[in-house]
Amino acid sequence: MDIQESFRSIGSDLSAGKIDEVRRKVQEISDSTDDPFVLLQCVSLLKVVKEDDMMRGLVTKIMANVDEEESRRVEIAGALKGLEYPFQAYEILESMEPSDSIRRLRVQCLMDMDEFESALEENNAIKEMQVIDGIHNAEILSALGEHADAIAAVKLLESGHPKNYDVMNCYVAVHMMAGEEKEAVRYARHRLKDKTADGNAILAYAMRIMGNDKAAAGYATRAIKMDPKHIGAMETLGICLARKGEYEKARIVAGAINEVSPGHSAAMEILRYCD
């Protein structure tokens, strides 16, 4: 059985709840290779079954085998950041020539490390700004307590990209952080009129933040029916399930996110609620 077949087998074991088999097979794979990308897949699976000691050992092994080739280094750093190892990711990126893409990933690491002033400085140094950079700018300003500036930034962003789900999410989050819950919910309900998966998902997110898990789960379920791979909706549904104490169902949702986008932060967020 080759490695990818082994991973498919592990995926089946995970779905069936065979946690001991998952641990055993992941251990066999990780013992057989120094390939950082294979090891990253192992860490991603171990996140789901909460094997912290094994993960730490594999991350140490990954850091000892980071490629010299720039694109591969960036890919490894990005994966580590997604798996909630921003310090290690930043360590890889820190000595690299700062192109816009590398700065962008540094910003994300610094935000995860709560180094918001450094993140803002790094974000401002990006030469060709993209939508994600505008989102980061608003989120950082919000985290720094600069709520008026954050709201101004996200309103400008939304005016240019009204159909972008990540911008919608940022709009709601920034207004919630500023204590403007009514505007956040008003906006989310307005987006529901689009009759799209994004519209349902953003209202689900707003309801979740407001603590209305029943409504949140309902809108999230509607979004997933429209788009079975909608990560934002799956994240909300998984968190709502975890809050109800339905941890196994929540972990299944996290696993589904991991299949769509291995190591995605949404899966990690659900698993935090399961802890």
DSSP output for 61-99:
HHHTT--SSHHHHHHHHHHHHHTT-HHHHHHHHHTS---
Among 18-27, 129-138, 153-162, which stretch is predicted with the lowest mean pLDDT?
A: 18-27
Q: How far apart are CA 87 and CA 184, in angstroms?
A: 33
Residue 219: both structure tokens together:
């809108």
| Closest by CA position to 251, among listed 25, 46, 101, 26 | 46
> What percent of the chain is predicted at pLDDT more than 70?
99
* pLDDT score of 148: 97
Domain borders along the chain are 1-65, 180-275
Q: If you average pLDDT over every residue of the chain, what do you get? A: 92
Q: At what angle do helices 197-210 and 213-226 cross, to 10 degrees?
A: 160
Mean pLDDT of 85-114: 95
pLDDT of 44 reads 83
> Does residue 26 surpass a pLDDT of 90?
no
Superfamily of chain region 180-275: Tetratricopeptide repeat domain (1.25.40.10)
Half-sphere exposure of 242 (CA within 13 A, CB side): 21
The answer, as to whether pTM is greater than 0.95, is no
More confident residue, 140 or 54: 140
Burial of 143 (0-12, 13-18, 19+ CB in 10 A): middle
